[in-house]
Amino acid sequence: MQQHLLARRQAPGPSRSRTLTGLLASAAATTGLLLTALAPGAQAVAANPYERGPAPTNASIEASRGSYATSQTSVSSLAVSGFGGGTIYYPTSTADGTFGAVVISPGFTAYQSSIAWLGPRLASQGFVVFTIDTNTTLDQPDSRGRQLLSALDYLTQRSSVRTRVDASRLGVMGHSMGGGGSLEAAKSRTSLKAAIPLTGWNTDKTWPELRTPTLVVGADGDTVAPVGTHSEPFYESLPGSLDKAYLELRGASHFTPNSSDTTIAKYSLSWLKRFIDNDTRYEQFLCPIPRPSLTIAEYRGTCPHSS
C-alpha cells in the first residue's frame, strides 16, 4: 500500500504533464516566430549587400547632408594622366564596406569649383565622389567623356581611397558639356550603372546605343542648351527598354546646376542609389512619376524600373 501511494506521489499528474507539454510547445513556437522575423532581414541583406545608410525619407534626401561623416582629398593634375585632377569626397567610416562611386565633370570654360557642392552632399549619403577639372576648360563633350572614364580608372586603381570603392558600381555626371560628356562616357563603357547629364550640351542628339540607366536633367529657362534641342532629344532617343527619366526644372537656367539645388540633389541621389546601389528603397521617389511642382516643370520616365 505504501509503495502504491509513493508511486502515485512521484508520477506526474495529468495537469502537470499537460502544462509541461504546453510550455515546450510555446517555446518552440516563439523560437519559430523569432526565426521567421529574422529571416526576411537576412534575406534582404543577402539579396542586396549594397544598401548604405538608413531607410530614406523625403526629408533625408532633401537634406544638405546625409548620415555619413565625410572627408576629402585633393588630386593634383601632375599626379594623373587623361584628366586635370580634382577632389575626392568620401565617407570616413569603413564599417559598411565599400561604396559605389561617381565622377562629375564641369562644363565649358568651368572648373571643378562649379560643381563642388555635389561632392560632400552625395558623399554624405554613401558614395565616393570625384569632382574633376578637365585638361583644358575648352574641351568638347567627347573629350570630357574620355576624361570621366580616365578619372574613374584612377579612382578605382590608383587613388588613396581605392580600397573604399566598389569598382563594379560606378556612375558619371556632368554639367553642360560635362553633361554631354557623361553621355559619351556611358556610350563607351556600357558597364556603368548610372549617368546624369545636368543641362547637358552635345552636338550629337541621339543616344540609342546607351545601356546605362540615365536621368536627363534640363531647365525650362535654358538658353545655352535649350531643352527642345538638347535634353529632350537626348531623352527621347534613349532606348525604350532602358530605365530612363527626364526631369525639367522649373524657373531654372543653364547654370542652375552650378549652385546647391535641392531638386537636382534629391533626384540625382535617388537615381544613383537606385541604380549604383540597386537600393529599391529609393524607388518610391522616382515611381510613380513625380508630378509638376514649384520646382518641376515636367517629369517623364519608365516606371516601374526593371533593373
The interaxial angle of helices 177-188 and 141-157, nearest 10 deg, is: 60
Does the annotation count 142 as an active-site position? no
Does the annotation count 222 as an active-site position? yes
Q: Is 91 in contact with 99 (CB distance < 8 Å)?
A: yes
Per the residue annotation, which of 254, 261, 268, 279 is the catalytic one?
254
Where b means 16+ CB within 10 Å and e means fewer, 23-41 reads eeeeeeeeeeeeeeeeeee
Q: Is 195 in contact with 173 (CB distance < 8 Å)?
A: yes
Positive or negative torsion for Cα 51, 53, 56, 61 = negative
Backbone φ and ψ for 138, nearest 5 degrees, come out as -100, 5
- Write down the residue that cell numbers 527626364 correspond to: 246
Per the residue annotation, which of 222, 243, 261, 277 is the catalytic one?
222
Does the annotation count 293 as an active-site position? no
Per the residue annotation, which of 114, 176, 182, 268 is the catalytic one?
176
Residue 176 is placed in which grid cell?
A: 553642360
Residues marked as catalytic? 176, 222, 254
